[in-house]
Amino acid sequence: MDKKIRILIAKPGLDGHDRGAKVIARALRDAGMEVIYTGLRQTPEMIAEAALQEDVDAVGLSILSGAHLTLLPRVVSCLQERGLEEVLIFAGGIIPDEDVTSLKDAGVTAVFGPGTNTDHVVEFIRGQFQTA
Protein backbone atom coordinates (compact mmCIF):
# COMPACT_ATOMS: atom_id res chain seq x y z
CA MET A 1 0.00 0.00 0.00
CA ASP A 2 2.58 2.48 1.13
CA LYS A 3 5.89 0.78 0.40
CA LYS A 4 8.91 3.05 0.83
CA ILE A 5 12.53 2.36 0.01
CA ARG A 6 14.31 2.10 3.37
CA ILE A 7 18.04 2.68 3.52
CA LEU A 8 20.54 2.45 6.35
CA ILE A 9 23.37 4.94 6.14
CA ALA A 10 26.21 3.93 8.42
CA LYS A 11 29.78 4.84 9.16
CA PRO A 12 31.91 1.82 9.88
CA GLY A 13 35.22 2.25 11.64
CA LEU A 14 36.89 5.03 13.50
CA ASP A 15 36.98 8.12 11.33
CA GLY A 16 34.85 10.94 12.67
CA HIS A 17 33.83 12.59 9.45
CA ASP A 18 30.15 12.22 8.69
CA ARG A 19 29.48 15.13 6.43
CA GLY A 20 29.29 12.91 3.35
CA ALA A 21 26.99 10.49 5.12
CA LYS A 22 24.67 13.33 6.12
CA VAL A 23 24.64 14.81 2.61
CA ILE A 24 23.67 11.43 1.16
CA ALA A 25 21.06 10.86 3.89
CA ARG A 26 19.51 14.21 3.08
CA ALA A 27 19.55 13.59 -0.68
CA LEU A 28 17.86 10.22 -0.29
CA ARG A 29 15.26 11.72 2.02
CA ASP A 30 14.56 14.41 -0.54
CA ALA A 31 14.09 11.64 -3.09
CA GLY A 32 11.28 10.25 -0.92
CA MET A 33 13.17 7.45 0.80
CA GLU A 34 13.26 6.60 4.50
CA VAL A 35 16.83 6.86 5.71
CA ILE A 36 17.96 5.40 9.01
CA TYR A 37 21.14 7.12 10.11
CA THR A 38 23.07 5.40 12.88
CA GLY A 39 25.91 7.81 13.55
CA LEU A 40 29.64 7.43 13.89
CA ARG A 41 31.94 4.54 14.78
CA GLN A 42 29.78 1.55 14.02
CA THR A 43 31.13 -1.98 14.02
CA PRO A 44 30.13 -4.29 11.15
CA GLU A 45 28.01 -6.24 13.66
CA MET A 46 26.16 -3.09 14.78
CA ILE A 47 25.50 -2.13 11.16
CA ALA A 48 24.19 -5.56 10.21
CA GLU A 49 22.01 -5.78 13.30
CA ALA A 50 20.52 -2.34 12.62
CA ALA A 51 19.89 -3.35 8.99
CA LEU A 52 18.06 -6.42 10.23
CA GLN A 53 15.91 -4.63 12.80
CA GLU A 54 15.02 -1.84 10.38
CA ASP A 55 14.30 -4.22 7.45
CA VAL A 56 16.15 -1.98 5.03
CA ASP A 57 16.37 -2.49 1.29
CA ALA A 58 19.89 -1.10 1.09
CA VAL A 59 22.89 -0.25 3.24
CA GLY A 60 25.11 2.70 2.35
CA LEU A 61 28.52 2.75 3.99
CA SER A 62 30.56 5.91 4.27
CA ILE A 63 34.21 5.40 5.06
CA LEU A 64 37.17 7.77 4.96
CA SER A 65 39.62 6.00 7.22
CA GLY A 66 41.28 3.79 4.61
CA ALA A 67 40.10 0.63 6.33
CA HIS A 68 37.50 -0.15 3.67
CA LEU A 69 39.18 -3.34 2.43
CA THR A 70 38.92 -4.77 5.94
CA LEU A 71 35.63 -3.35 7.14
CA LEU A 72 33.35 -3.45 4.11
CA PRO A 73 33.73 -7.20 3.41
CA ARG A 74 33.06 -7.80 7.10
CA VAL A 75 29.83 -5.81 6.88
CA VAL A 76 28.85 -7.97 3.91
CA SER A 77 29.52 -11.19 5.78
CA CYS A 78 27.73 -9.95 8.92
CA LEU A 79 24.70 -9.18 6.76
CA GLN A 80 24.86 -12.63 5.19
CA GLU A 81 25.08 -14.30 8.61
CA ARG A 82 21.75 -12.68 9.43
CA GLY A 83 20.08 -13.80 6.23
CA LEU A 84 20.23 -10.37 4.59
CA GLU A 85 21.82 -11.55 1.32
CA GLU A 86 19.37 -9.60 -0.81
CA VAL A 87 20.15 -6.24 0.77
CA LEU A 88 21.86 -3.87 -1.66
CA ILE A 89 25.23 -2.59 -0.42
CA PHE A 90 26.88 0.57 -1.70
CA ALA A 91 29.78 2.61 -0.41
CA GLY A 92 31.16 6.10 -0.54
CA GLY A 93 34.13 8.04 0.76
CA ILE A 94 37.85 7.98 0.10
CA ILE A 95 38.26 4.71 -1.78
CA PRO A 96 41.07 4.41 -4.36
CA ASP A 97 40.03 3.18 -7.82
CA GLU A 98 42.29 0.14 -7.57
CA ASP A 99 40.30 -1.12 -4.56
CA VAL A 100 36.90 -0.89 -6.25
CA THR A 101 37.14 -4.24 -8.04
CA SER A 102 37.95 -6.19 -4.89
CA LEU A 103 35.13 -4.46 -3.02
CA LYS A 104 32.72 -5.37 -5.81
CA ASP A 105 33.96 -8.95 -5.68
CA ALA A 106 33.24 -8.88 -1.96
CA GLY A 107 29.62 -7.93 -2.57
CA VAL A 108 29.59 -4.12 -2.63
CA THR A 109 27.42 -3.29 -5.65
CA ALA A 110 28.59 0.28 -6.22
CA VAL A 111 31.28 2.64 -4.96
CA PHE A 112 30.85 6.41 -5.13
CA GLY A 113 33.92 8.60 -4.77
CA PRO A 114 34.26 12.22 -3.68
CA GLY A 115 32.43 14.69 -5.89
CA THR A 116 29.72 12.23 -6.91
CA ASN A 117 26.52 14.05 -7.76
CA THR A 118 23.87 13.01 -5.24
CA ASP A 119 21.34 12.73 -8.06
CA HIS A 120 23.51 10.01 -9.50
CA VAL A 121 23.30 8.03 -6.24
CA VAL A 122 19.53 8.52 -6.10
CA GLU A 123 19.15 7.29 -9.69
CA PHE A 124 21.35 4.30 -9.00
CA ILE A 125 19.23 3.25 -6.01
CA ARG A 126 15.95 3.87 -7.81
CA GLY A 127 17.23 1.78 -10.70
CA GLN A 128 17.91 -1.11 -8.34
CA PHE A 129 14.40 -1.06 -6.94
CA GLN A 130 12.45 -0.34 -10.09
CA THR A 131 9.14 -2.10 -9.87
CA ALA A 132 7.34 -2.88 -13.08
Q: How many CA atoms lie within 13 A of 10 on its CB side?
A: 27
Each residue 81-120 as x (binds another protein by CB under 8 A) or -, in order, gives -xxx-x-x--------------------x-----------
Determine how many CB atoms are found less than 10 A away from the CB of residue 78.
Answer: 19
Q: Segment near another protein (CB under 8 A), from 1-9, 70-78, 92-100, 113-121?
A: 1-9
Q: How far is the CB of 98 from another protein (least distance, A)?
A: 25
Burial of 71 from C-beta contacts in 10 A (0-12 / 13-18 / 19+): buried
Tell me the C-alpha distance between 111 and 70, whole Å. 15
Report if residue 33 touches another protein, rule: CB under 8 A. Answer: yes
Question: Which residue type sits at 50?
Answer: A
Residues that bind another protein (CB under 8 A): 1-4, 6, 25-26, 28-39, 42-43, 45-46, 49-50, 52-55, 57-58, 82-84, 86, 88, 109, 128-129, 131
